[in-house]
Amino acid sequence: MPSRPKHRAATLLASVLTTDAALHLYWATGATWPAADEKSLSYAVLGMEAPFTPPVVLPLAALLTAASGIVVAQSRRPHRLLRLGTLAVAAGLSLRALAGVYWLFAQDTGTAFYWLNLGLYTPLCAVLCAAALKVARPQLPSLREGKARWEDAVRVR
């Protein structure tokens, strides 16, 4: 049975990944909320101009949804492959967090992306990376379980 902190970490991570996937699906329709147009959205989210078309955002939505499912599955029924998938999610989040730190020094401080990166994207990726590592960490037996096994092993019958 998963520990309560591990379950909470998986729930947080899956919730954010699923919300991000839903945003990508929304953008695939041509909508640009919360920006006024596609160019503004691109600059706010990526710091550069990039297309928010279905061939670009739908694979990202699928990847985010799969990552969410892998994390939830690992938290409920740990398995080596699910653990590797969860570690891959952590690696991706850590790369994004590190890139975000770099962009704090490389981007113009007058842009929306700079401030969103500083206050939202990079800290969120760092927290989610820590959550993914918590979910991926192998479940160790509790001290109580270890003591019971030791007592069973040394019990004279």
Asked if 31 contacts 23 with a C-beta cutoff of 8 angstroms, the reply is no
pLDDT tens readout for residues 88-128: 999 999 999 999 999 999 999 999 999 999 999 999 999 99
Q: What is the number of other CB atoms lying within 10 angstroms of the CB of residue 63?
A: 16
**Which ranges of 38-79 does DSSP label H, i.e. alpha helix?**
38-46, 54-76
Q: Model pTM? A: 0.86
Beta carbons of 22 and 150 less than 8 angstroms apart: no
Q: 125-157 in b/e burial notation, b at 16+ Cβ within 10 A?
A: bbbbbbbbbbbbeeeeeeeeeeeeeeeeeeeee
Radius of gyration of the chain (CA): 20
**pLDDT, position 21:** 98
Q: What is the pLDDT along the chain (157 residues), one digit of tens a residue?
A: 568 999 999 999 999 999 999 999 999 999 999 999 999 999 999 999 999 999 999 999 999 999 999 999 999 999 999 999 999 999 999 999 999 999 999 999 999 999 999 999 999 999 999 999 999 999 766 655 555 565 665 666 5
pLDDT score recorded for residue 152: 60
Q: Where are the domains of the chain?
A: 4-154
pLDDT of residue 3: 82
